[in-house]
Structure 1
């Protein structure tokens, strides 16, 4: 029997999945078993839309449709938890399976601890993630750096430190370091990310550490929960999935790859955060950049931490309507509400029509707050400091007293005014 902590190689025995799958097809096969066994009611997955730069979320209930989602799309930048929260009722009445990146898994935890999702009704299969590439920038990168018409590209992958494309007439790879120094490559938030193996998921899967005869033909699977172990055992028992213990040398290689990615993430954090300056210089830079804001609300719509029905940014007392440039209070409210729990998913920056580096500002503040209070978002069900304040009660107190000490009752509960 499989147990939490096991490290395995896994591959599909399903002939249809074998034809389409990458790296053994274990993830697609596990979802097929989950649907057929009624372990989940539906699987939320990503498939290719009009082209490989168009990642499209799909809800699958028929196991036969899963083969369409096999493979990866590095030019897809979707975040899955907010979709479940907004469009699928937050799993309160449905059991859902979902494939997650590190930022997805972190966002699931943050929404769950705020009771917006029920993790008991979600199964997560995590995939190792070295980062994703914005679709618009990907097309420009392929044109400028690869000298290839992006419309002729039918496959892309990130492997051994290169971005590799296959197109009509050939294939080509360029070092990610070279691409990123030229302003291309992965999204800025992905470069700073240090959640490369999403162990918050029930299973963590990928190709790092698959060596020997199984290289390119199997998926590395780390079992992270009892739910994950049961799913894996069920698929093996049914005969549609095969497994074997991971090669010890492969374990060592996987650890080294992860370690190298973490060091790279730290390097980019240092570069990006130092580039913001400190103190008043940082504030001036943020105020200057955010002055382009047109208050389209896409940053709020896409943020997994934003879920309030009555959003303070829409209160005319704080943010006057119909004014450009937008009052900086709009951004201060967001920072105060979100920064301690930012998971660096990059959605606020990805969708900004004014190209404001929102994710950089929010992530930089989150790291500073983490140093101060020790709370790391998205890795456990521990609540951030702000969550201990009852918002309605605190708003009433502020209105009655005129005090701006929002944390007063937490730090000094005996004080009464």
Structure 2
């Protein structure tokens, strides 16, 4: 029987499923078992759309369709919890869900849970993640650096520090991520052809806040490529795994001690790389007035499309303060700097560095760099680490709607009785 803290190799017992799935098909088998056993009503995951560069959110309720999910696409940059909230939980809040998330997704789902947007009763399978690449960037890499037709690529992965693709005719080619990112300039310059900037700065490579943390790091020997490394992170995760093993859907064995050591070295190397990129990006911003002026200069391109707000997992207010005439003058493009200051004040303590505000900005403002820089400074000051557990964020001292109702009823602007 598996228990919290166990480190295992796992694989599906279904030969047909194993042939289709990656690294032994353990995650796919676990999801299918969760559906078949009635543990969940649906699986919310990523499905490949038109091609490998097109990640599409999918709700699956038929176990037979589980083989069609993609786990995660390194060239797909969705933030799944926000999509889950928008597409599903708003209309079916009581639906029991199993979902597959990378590190920033797991951080986001915790912060959304604190804000009453999702619940953590759902089963969360976390995936080790070395980063993602924007679809258009991936196409450029394939065409210009690998000499292939991007439309011929049927499979992609980031493994052992390389971006690797497979074409329709079975051809494999790869290139070092370091080579792609080497020579990338600072914040305001060319960022090279590698991972997204938030992925370079990320330090949640193995999402242990999930119920199970899964991936291929540390799978060695005869199991290499044929099994998934599974870290059991909660009793809920142990129950799912044990149920699947008892049903004969999944087989497991203790992880190879040498593989555990290798996994740790891979993770530590990526954490150090994250520190290096943080120093580089945040250093390019400068400090104090210099930083403020650079942010003002970059945000002066803003067209006030609200994409950064609509797609942020931390933004949840129904009545957004940026739409209040007395705070942000309406009809002005670019909007006054107060528009951005409101966002920074509201969410910077809880920024999970998912990169959606930057990824979806039509004028390519480096929003995630600004917010992440502020968040890390607040982390040093207050010790709050967003997205790691259910600890309330620094600024989440009141429920906004309840507080606004109280203020309207009393006419008082005294939010806290500090003398009580």
Superposition TM-score, scaled by structure 1 size: 0.94
The answer to whether the aligner puts 1:288 opposite 2:293 as a matched pair is: no
Contact 1:4 / 1:223 at 8 angstroms: preserved in 2? yes
The aligned residue for residue 31 of structure 2 is: 31
Q: Distance in 2 between matches of 1:371 and 1:63?
A: 45
The aligned residue for residue 219 of structure 1 is: 228
Q: Distance in 2 between matches of 1:118 and 1:160?
A: 35
SS of residue in 2 equivalent to 1:24: helix
By how many angstroms is 1:390 displaced? 4.8
The aligned residue for residue 302 of structure 1 is: 311
Q: Distance in 2 between matches of 1:10 and 1:74?
A: 22
Residue 351 of structure 1: which of 360, 365, 371 is its match? 360
SS of residue in 1 equivalent to 2:210: coil
1:272-320: CA deviation from partner (whole Å, max 9, x where unpaired): 0001111000000000000111011111111000111001111111112
Q: Distance in 2 between matches of 1:3 and 1:355?
A: 45
The aligned residue for residue 188 of structure 2 is: none
| Structure 1 stretches lacking a partner, 5+ long | none
Contact 2:77 / 2:132 at 8 angstroms: preserved in 1? yes
The aligned residue for residue 322 of structure 1 is: 331
Q: Distance in 1 between matches of 2:38 and 2:46?
A: 21
SS of residue in 2 equivalent to 1:244: strand
By how many angstroms is 1:401 displaced? 7.5
Moved over 4 A (4+): 399-403
Q: Distance in 1 between matches of 2:15 and 2:145?
A: 38
1:27-81: CA deviation from partner (whole Å, max 9, x where unpaired): 0000000000110100001111001100011100000101011454110111111
By how many angstroms is 1:167 displaced? 2.3
| Residues 11-410 of structure 1 mapped to structure 2, 5 A cutoff | 11-70=11-70, 72-89=72-89, 92-120=93-121, 122-168=122-168, 170-181=171-182, 182=184, 183-391=192-400, 393=403, 396=407, 409=416
By how many angstroms is 1:89 displaced? 2.1
1:179-222: CA deviation from partner (whole Å, max 9, x where unpaired): 01250111000000000000010000000110111011000000
Contact 1:25 / 1:70 at 8 angstroms: preserved in 2? no
Q: CA-atom RMSD, angstroms?
A: 1.8
Residue 418 of structure 2: which of 398, 410, 413 is its match? 413
In the superposition, relative to structure 1, how do residues 70 and 281 fare at CA in structure 2: closer, same or farther (>3 Å)? closer
By how many angstroms is 1:347 displaced? 0.5
Q: Distance in 1 between matches of 2:411 and 2:375?
A: 31
SS of residue in 2 equivalent to 1:47: strand
Contact 1:20 / 1:71 at 8 angstroms: preserved in 2? no
Contact 1:43 / 1:59 at 8 angstroms: preserved in 2? yes
Q: Distance in 1 between matches of 2:54 and 2:100?
A: 17
SS of residue in 1 equivalent to 2:341: helix
Q: Distance in 2 between matches of 1:25 and 1:259?
A: 26
Q: Distance in 1 between matches of 2:168 and 2:51?
A: 14
SS of residue in 2 equivalent to 1:385: coil
Superposition TM-score, scaled by structure 2 size: 0.93
By how many angstroms is 1:327 displaced? 1.0
| Structure 2 stretches lacking a partner, 5+ long | 185-191
Q: Distance in 2 between matches of 1:26 and 1:64?
A: 16
1:235-278: CA deviation from partner (whole Å, max 9, x where unpaired): 11111110000011111111111110100001100000001111
Q: Distance in 2 between matches of 1:252 and 1:59?
A: 36
Contact 2:127 / 2:207 at 8 angstroms: preserved in 1? yes
SS of residue in 2 equivalent to 1:332: helix
Q: Distance in 2 between matches of 1:334 and 1:280?
A: 19
Q: Distance in 2 between matches of 1:141 and 1:212?
A: 32
